[in-house]
């Protein structure tokens, strides 16, 4: 009885250690970025014009300040294929004629003393891997920082609640103002140092994961 209790406690401890903790919405790291309010100044001329928020008459309305919103079009597509073949062959043979003395073979219990040994080894291995991924959609993010060379650091997330689960997209990276289109969008392929996460939480997402017991039996620790 004591052994059963020990095994049960060990399994519960293992399950507690391997329970995954997924991301949560409203992560402070992905919180919206708001621009700093300009200091209140006494306008001696009576004008309400502020040059920090001005645009040229014929300029496009593009994100260029901290807190501005820009839409990133996700057009990611990757494909990888790899194959390998290894072959090895080895032959060994050795023979020894019957030992004789005085022209007559030496025998032991009527059997001649000779040797005939052959060995052959053939080994062939083949491995193939083919993987492709694609991601289409869009996400609006904030400008987090404007670098000295004019490049923009962007970051943002999108959460979608579907039934009992949630899906999310998170994106961070670096873009050039010249890559921003007139409609204030940019392709994800133009985002440098991009970090794109697309996953989900909830019952449906958990059902797609391998259980801790199945992962243990299919892992490198089994068999011992």
Helix (H, G, I), strand (E, B) or coil at 192: strand
Within 10 angstroms of residue 174's Cβ, the number of other Cβ atoms is 16
Q: How far is residue 26 from each of residues 31, 188, 195, 218, measured CA to CA in Å?
A: 7, 23, 18, 35
Q: State residue 7's pLDDT score.
A: 47
pTM greater than 0.85 (yes/no):
no
Residue 67 pLDDT greater than 70, yes or no: yes
Mean pLDDT of the region 58-69: 79
pLDDT value for 132: 83
**Residue 162 in contact with residue 101, Cβ under 8 Å?**
no
pLDDT: which is higher, 175 or 22:
175
Give the side-chain half-sphere CA count within 13 A for 114: 10
Which DSSP symbol is given to 190? G
The CA distance from 32 to 103, in Å, is 102
User: Cα–Cα–Cα angle for 52, 56, 58, nearest 5°?
Assistant: 155
What pLDDT is recorded for position 20? 47
Mean pLDDT across 59-83: 85
Q: Per-residue pLDDT tens for 155-214?
A: 999 988 877 778 889 999 999 999 999 999 999 999 999 999 988 776 655 555 666 666
Strand 111-112 with 104-105, pairing: unpaired
């Amino acid at each position: 009885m004591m052994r059963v209790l020990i095994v049960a406690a060990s399994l519960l401890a293992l399950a507690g250690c391997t329970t995954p903790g997924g991301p949560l919405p409203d992560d402070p790291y992905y919180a919206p970025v708001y621009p700093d309010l300009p200091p209140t100044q006494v306008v001696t001329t009576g004008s309400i014009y502020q040059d920090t928020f001005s645009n040229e008459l014929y300029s496009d309305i593009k994100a260029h300040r901290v807190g501005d919103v820009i839409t990133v079009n996700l057009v990611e597509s990757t494909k990888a294929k790899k194959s390998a073949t290894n072959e090895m062959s080895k032959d060994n043979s050795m023979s020894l004629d019957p030992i004789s003395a005085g022209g007559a073979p030496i025998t032991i219990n009527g059997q001649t003393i000779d040797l005939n040994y052959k060995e052959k080894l053939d080994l062939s291995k083949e491995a193939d891997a083919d993987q492709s991924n694609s991601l289409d959609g869009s996400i609006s993010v904030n400008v987090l920082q404007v670098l000295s060379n004019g490049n923009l650091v962007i970051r943002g997330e999108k959460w979608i609640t579907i039934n009992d689960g949630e899906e999310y997209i998170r994106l961070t990276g670096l873009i050039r103002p010249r890559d921003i289109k007139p409609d204030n969008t940019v392709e994800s392929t133009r985002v440098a140092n991009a970090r794109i996460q697309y996953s989900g939480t909830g019952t449906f997402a958990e059902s797609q994961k391998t259980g801790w017991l199945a992962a243990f039996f299919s892992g490198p620790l089994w068999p011992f």
